[in-house]
Amino acid sequence: MCKDFYYIFTVLVRLSSDFLEKGFMESQVVKMNNEFTYEYLKGAVDLVKDGRPIENINFYLDYDLQRIIRNNNLDEFTIKELYIIKHIFLMIRESTIESIEDIICFSRSFLKDENYGRLCEVFHNIKSKHKSNIFSKNVYKGD
């Protein structure tokens, strides 16, 4: 089961990195095996792309989560994935290196040690990629 949580956290970290690199409009949600998880995350990203205020996004995420759980016979794992997305999505929306680091810290209690280590490696690759971009931009600004 932890391996499956590794997948959802990897998707969320990469989505946050895409937001940081490309911006909200150019980012796409990776197709996932779980239809409910995919549609829920895609709906959240679409709300950001529509320019909804954060209060509306919170309301829609709560409403959609309750609707999905009420109208479908979901297993416990899927419900946990949906709650993980709901709680992490606001961190993703901030799209900063610090928000990605917060996602990694949040994932610690859900992952086995080896999967947490793999996720940290993904983060360090993202961080080094963005750090080199940040340094090159700051040099030209004179900061």
Average pLDDT over residues 86-100: 81
Q: How confident is the model at residue 140 (pLDDT cuts 50, 70, 90)?
A: very low
Q: How confident is the model at residue 133 (pLDDT cuts 50, 70, 90)?
A: low
Encoded amino acid at 35, one letter: E
Q: Which two tokens stand for residue 19?
A: 């937001």
- For residue range 51-77, what is the model confidence (pLDDT) as tens digits? 888 888 899 999 999 999 999 999 999
Whether 37 has a pLDDT exceeding 60, the answer reads: yes
The secondary element (H helix, E strand) that includes residue 13 is helix 2-22
- For residue range 3-22, what is the model confidence (pLDDT) as tens digits? 568 888 988 888 888 888 88
Report the predicted TM-score, pTM, of the whole model to 2 decimal places: 0.80
Dist CA 85 CA 37 (whole Å): 8
